[in-house]
Structure 1
Amino acid sequence: MSALPPLNALRAFEAAARRGSFVAAAEELNVTPAAIGQQVRQLEALIGAPLFVREGRGVRLTERGAAGIDRLGRAFELMGEASSAMREASGEVELVIGAPADFAAAWLAPRLATREEGLRKVSVITGPPEAVFERGAELAIAFAAAAPAGYESQLLAREILAPMATPELAARIGEVEALSNVPRIEEAGLDVDWRAWLARRGAYGLDPAPALKAQDGLIALSLAEAGAGVVLARRSLAGPALAARRLVPVFADGDHVMDAAHFLITRRGRRLSAPAQAARSWLRAEGARAEDAADEL
């Protein structure tokens, strides 16, 4: 068997090829771009040919580099699976789940507090699917208008928007028209805002502009909890506030089911560890319970 190049050089090459950049590869491997460049040059010296050509701020594989990158990527996946299998056998597997930060804080964290016995070691990281998978996540949750392409996806939970306020403020609002007398709060970037919600209710005479707009859904909820106004909030984020009655729905029929939903996703063709399989089933059951609870409201 021919001698293998140093593992660090192969890791640097594979990461740079996959990310298309020495800088991105360095961020992933927690080293400097100069270190990535040095490792790649070492590998090129051993191979006897350039493996990359520079393109703007990124890099592109040469024909020689492209010849082995798929096999190398699969090799690293197999090594990861082998490592997971050995940790499983020793009972020391830590499951990593990725999710958007707001959803992780408001929906996932409270449920993890009462998780099943078989899910003892769980780490939650935040970010989009591609980023959390690269950081070791086996499961990811995404909030999107459709199932993310390139992954195995299952619907976890629908998302529902509804006007919410403190009990004291909600008690002073009877009809939709009364919203003209209170500040309105919304989360920026959603496909349904106050303008759309009011239009669906036929309330065209009200100024649709919100008094307050927050870039983060949890900030929007915090404003409402402080009594700053009525928030058009996502129920997935408002769960803790609703359970504690810090906020209440303003209208009995104010719910709007969004086109966007929460999806539970995994990498295609990847073997899941036993804890990941258990967590996937548990999360789907939690999602179904959340759906049933929403239907009863």
Structure 2
Amino acid sequence: MARNLPPLSYLKAFEATARLGSVTRAADELGRTHGAVSKQLQLLQEQLGIPVFEKSGTGLRLNEDGAAFFATVSRAFDLLEERYQELKASRNEASVHIACSATFAMVWLVPRLAEFYSLHPDIRVQLSMSSSARDGGTNRARDGVDFTLSWDRLARPLVKGEFVPLASVSFGLVSAPDYPFRAEGAEISFPTRISPDDMSAQWTSWQAATGHRVSAQSELYFPHMHLCVSAAATGLGVALVERRFALNELKSGKLVERSRFLKYEDGFVAMMKPGRTLSPAASHFLDWLRSAFVREAA
């Protein structure tokens, strides 16, 4: 007899949204669009015949039925993940599992993976998209992840727990060369500012740290920072970005720097699971990552 279960994609969308309290963050972690995750949640609730979430400010929270369902789904996922990792480990295959933001994966890491594979052809790199990579590792670390890469010190200035510093990060304003921009002393004004979803606090943190006061008539939001960079390059507004992710556009002239960049030394870190010993494969990857950052800064 066939099992009467919803599609696994619906359950993954539910589990991630319930755990993170945000459709946007769930979409970031799952590598899906906000609309796709919202649709999966809608279909799941239609199949259940009851709502499992309720509005909470700009996010979502579980209602009583949802909390009970989440406890069951989360336990099931934990058991599946644990057994999956055991089976993979039994093959004695050298691998490293990394959680990182979609922006870092697409803009920086994936274009350089060929270099790592040329140095370590027997190691395989597994990537998971995770908002915890962006917000400093405050979300629950998944058991199968060797470490989480975290870079957004504007959102989370302090890094808690065990971590390995890898490189500095720098945040500043960029726009298309002909985009209207006015700066008089500490006062900065322009028509539209561009922000990643749920990350408007970056602007407040940057202004407090630099002494600038930013005035914008409107704001546009995009799910990932690399989309904010692209939007700024097409003339949609001014974006507050980590310089590493806008470097190609700055070099090509599609973007220009509109402010000095606020630098956090050792702001790019690898967040470790407490008490977890890194495998040789994970250590090789961290060494390569650190050396790649050093060459980039030279």
TM-score by length of 1: 0.57
* Correspondence 1:237 to 2:245: yes
1:139-288 equivalences under 5 Å are 139-143=147-151, 144-149=156-161, 152-169=162-179, 175-176=183-184, 180=189, 182-187=191-196, 188-189=198-199, 191-193=201-203, 197=207, 200=210, 207-208=215-216, 210-251=218-259, 254-257=260-263, 261-288=267-294
Which of 113, 121, 125 aligns to 2:124? It is: 121
Counterpart CA distance in 1 for 2:240 and 2:201 is 12
Give me the CA root mean square deviation.
3.9
Judged with a 3 Å threshold, the aligned counterparts in structure 2 of structure 1 residues 217 and 259 are, in CA distance, closer, same or farther, namely: farther
The answer for unaligned runs of 5 or more in structure 1 is: 1-19, 32-72
Judged with a 3 Å threshold, the aligned counterparts in structure 2 of structure 1 residues 272 and 200 are, in CA distance, closer, same or farther, namely: closer
Counterpart CA distance in 1 for 2:278 and 2:94 is 12
Work out whether residues 167 and 246 of structure 1, in 8 Å CA contact, stay in contact via their aligned partners in 2.
Answer: yes
Work out whether residues 99 and 127 of structure 2, in 8 Å CA contact, stay in contact via their aligned partners in 1.
Answer: yes
Paired residue secondary structure (1:133)? coil
Structure 1 position 145, deviation (Å): 2.5
Judged with a 3 Å threshold, the aligned counterparts in structure 2 of structure 1 residues 181 and 22 are, in CA distance, closer, same or farther, namely: closer
Counterpart CA distance in 2 for 1:241 and 1:29 is 44
- Structure 1 residues 91-115: Cα deviation after superposition (integer angstroms, max 9, x where no partner): x323221112222222322332432
Letter in 1 for 2:250: L
Work out whether residues 139 and 280 of structure 1, in 8 Å CA contact, stay in contact via their aligned partners in 2.
Answer: no
Work out whether residues 191 and 218 of structure 2, in 8 Å CA contact, stay in contact via their aligned partners in 1.
Answer: no
Letter in 2 for 1:207: S
Work out whether residues 180 and 207 of structure 1, in 8 Å CA contact, stay in contact via their aligned partners in 2.
Answer: yes
1:12-23 equivalences under 5 Å are 21-23=71-73
Work out whether residues 165 and 266 of structure 2, in 8 Å CA contact, stay in contact via their aligned partners in 1.
Answer: no
Letter in 1 for 2:163: S
Structure index of larger Rg? 1
Work out whether residues 164 and 231 of structure 1, in 8 Å CA contact, stay in contact via their aligned partners in 2.
Answer: yes
Letter in 2 for 1:275: A
Structure 1 position 249, deviation (Å): 1.5
Between 178-187 and 106-115, report the one with greater CA deviation: 178-187
Q: What is the count of residue pairs matched by the alignment?
A: 215
Work out whether residues 141 and 263 of structure 1, in 8 Å CA contact, stay in contact via their aligned partners in 2.
Answer: yes
Paired residue secondary structure (1:114)? helix
Aligned match of 1:133: 142
TM-score by length of 2: 0.57
Paired residue secondary structure (2:215)? coil
Identity of aligned residues (%): 21
Q: Which has the higher strand share?
A: 2
